Structure 1
Amino acid sequence: MITEIAQIEIKPGTEKDYEAAVAKAADLPPIKGFHGFELHRSIEKPQRYRFIARWDTVEAHNDFRASEAFADWRALVGPYYAGPPEVVEHTETVVSTF
């Protein structure tokens, strides 16, 4: 399993609306290879979020990005973005205390 981490800046003043849109997007139909996500908001910079998702593989994430489901996701959350995600990377856990 891999972890996708994206840093997203949203338009000032839209934090609650963005969070509600992400919560609504969680109700979209299941996506092959997807295991869920967390959304974290920065304390120091409240318009900055980290989106953390779990995937079977990088390919599963790439397949999602090429799908209609991604268009549905982006339609819900995209209007709040101040710009494209600054960082999107895939990681694998090498040490964990969870």
Structure 2
Amino acid sequence: MARIVVKPGMETAFETGVAEAAPLFRRAKGCRAMALRRSQENPALYVLVVEGETLEDHTVQFRESEDFQTWRRLVGETFAEPPEVEHLNLVAHHFGEET
């Protein structure tokens, strides 16, 4: 999960960059799903959730790939601050298939 704060006025550019980067995540080793959520109270705040098979698939395989560099080129200029990243384990899933 990445908490991303976008520069004011850069929201559309960020969302476009995420959409363009979706195939990069989709083809990453172990990637199962990706979802982008936007705060209703703070429109500059987004949460990007990427589900993967292993921590290493993301922290090593993806982070050290050219696709990660492309991801950062697509969205990096829109960041107001460095993203805050947390790696989470699913404890319970109670409603539908949505993440």
Give the TM-score normalised by structure 1: 0.88
Partner of 1:17: 13
Sequence identity, in percent?
Answer: 44
Once superposed, what is the RMSD of the aligned Cα atoms?
1.2
Deviates more, 1:10-19 or 1:25-34: 25-34
- The equivalent position to 1:81 in structure 2, one of 73, 79, 82, is 79
1:38-97 CA distance string (max 9 Å, x none): 000101110000000001111000121111110011111111111111x21111111111
**Structure 2 unmatched runs, 5+:** none
In structure 2, give the amino acid aligned to 1:41.
R
3-state secondary structure, aligned to 2:87: strand
4+ long deviations beyond 4 Å: none
Structure ranking higher on relative contact order (CA contacts 8 Å, 6+ apart): 1
Q: Distance in 2 between matches of 1:69 and 1:32?
A: 11
Q: Which residue of 1 aligns with 2:66?
A: 68
Q: Which amino acid aligns with 1:67?
A: S
Q: Where does structure 1 lack aligned partners over 5 or more consecutive residues?
A: none
- Aligned residue pair count: 93
Distance 1:66 1:72 in 2: 11
Amino acid aligned to 2:62: F
Q: TM-score, normalised by structure 2?
A: 0.87
Which residue identity lines up with residue 9 of structure 2 in the other structure?
Answer: G
Q: Which has the higher strand share?
A: 1
